[in-house]
């Protein structure tokens, strides 16, 4: 399947790698299908792009939350695990949305509303945690667990 993107131009995406957000992402409910793209070809980077297949200009920069906040700890409830067809919470992919304005040293990471993915089943959902995590935690020099 070919999709046109503002950031990457035309991409050839395997339909098996698409991720569906049944209710969209909060504030963007009309867009439900995305593809997850690693930031590097070796897939060794903690960064990803979540590109909409329906809107060429809609692309989120995501990061593995635990790479920057090793003490970041969240509890995924049973209903969410069932909704995303995740058998064990350890199999969930937990990514956070970055806000980058200027340099990466000034970027922030949203630990309050992570994106939970089951890439094997092609399902995803953004959740809002009740715990007191920062919406704009610093990405660099992350030392306080995001609280």
CATH number at residue 13: 2.30.290.10
pLDDT digits (tens, 9 = 90+) for 79-122: 999 999 999 888 899 999 999 988 778 899 999 999 999 999 99
Q: Is the pLDDT of residue 146 over 60?
A: no
Residues 6+ apart with CB under 8 A from 21: 31, 32, 33, 34, 123, 124, 125, 126
- Answer yes or no: is 63 within a domain: yes
Domain of 107 in residue numbering reads as 2-138
Residue 146 lies in a domain: no
pTM, two decimal places: 0.89
Based on the structure, what is the number of domains in the chain? 1
Say if CB 39 and CB 48 are below 8 A apart.
yes
**143 in a structural domain:** no
Q: Would you state the pLDDT for residue 131?
A: 83
DSSP strand pairing (9-12 vs 2-5): antiparallel
């Amino acid at each position: 399947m070919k999709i046109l993107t503002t950031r990457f131009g035309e991409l050839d995406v395997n339909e098996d790698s698409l991720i569906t957000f049944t209710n969209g992402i909060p504030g963007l409910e009309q867009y439900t299908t995305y593809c997850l793209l690693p930031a590097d070809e070796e897939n060794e980077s903690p960064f990803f792009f979540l590109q909409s297949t329906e809107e060429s200009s809609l692309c989120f920069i995501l990061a593995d939350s635990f790479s920057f906040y090793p003490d970041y700890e969240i509890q995924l409830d049973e209903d969410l695990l069932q909704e995303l067809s995740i058998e064990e919470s350890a199999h969930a992919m937990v990514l956070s949305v970055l806000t980058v304005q200027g340099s990466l040293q000034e970027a922030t990471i949203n630990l309050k509303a992570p994106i939970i993915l089951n890439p094997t089943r092609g399902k995803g959902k953004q959740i809002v945690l009740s715990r007191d995590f920062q919406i704009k935690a610093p990405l660099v020099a992350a030392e306080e667990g995001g609280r």
